[in-house]
Copies of this chain bind each other. A is one copy, B any other.
């Protein structure tokens, strides 16, 4: 658990280093599947003064089991994603500029190039709007539910990020580090897609065979990118 707290702390500190957060916006969590305990950033604490021991440990019901501070207000969203997808080890939420701009625009980020296809199999979806009832009720839980609904049974590690409508991006991975990595990629892909469509407003998606090739260079049995 101390190791996971350190991992989650380091992953949170990576958000400002990568320029993904302003002030206290954004949070990273990690989960220990053996004990079903999640470690998450405390709510509204500045990154500059945050320490590893400030990380909050919560159980599957979101109750604090360790830590002096209140957990991120987005805790129920993180828990919903871990519950639905046992393959996840880390979840990230940010308000990174370009990904948030697409979320505000209410549009999926179209797969325009190989940078996108190296990480995401197809467009990066944008959820539907939450209803007034969903917002008035358990808002953060329902944010998690609508993400799960939008993924629609697809493998989340093949679409390791999504846009919450009018809100901002969530991403995930096998570990807190990988979830941050995917948050960085999502932001960069969002920026490129904005510029590409500015250059060519009628732009179509990447050729299917090129997209599939790049995704498979990095994923699955035939992957040959990186050191093995």
Contacts and interface: CB of A to CB of B under 8 A. Distances in A.
B114 A196 contact: no
A199 B196 CA distance: 10
A8 interface: no
A206 B70 CA distance: 28
Interface stretch (A30-38, A39-47, A84-92, A149-157): A39-47
Contact of A197 (B43, B132, B199, B213): B199
* Interface size class, chain A: 35 or more
Nearest to A204: B106
A214 to B, nearest CB: 8
A23 B101 contact: no
A227 B100 contact: no
A217 interface: yes
* Closest CB pairs A-B (n = 8): A44-B226, A101-B195, A104-B113, A105-B200, A104-B196, A105-B199, A104-B112, A132-B209
Interface of A: 22-25, 42-45, 69-70, 73, 95, 97-98, 100-107, 112-115, 129-130, 132, 135-136, 139, 166-168, 181, 184-185, 188, 191-200, 203, 206-207, 209-210, 213, 217, 224-228
30 contacts: A22-B184, A22-B185, A23-B181, A24-B226, A44-B225, A44-B227, A69-B227, A70-B228, A95-B115, A97-B192, A97-B195, A100-B115, A101-B199, A102-B199, A104-B112, A104-B113, A104-B193, A105-B112, A105-B197, A105-B200, A113-B167, A114-B168, A129-B210, A130-B207, A135-B210, A166-B206, A166-B207, A166-B210, A167-B210, A198-B198
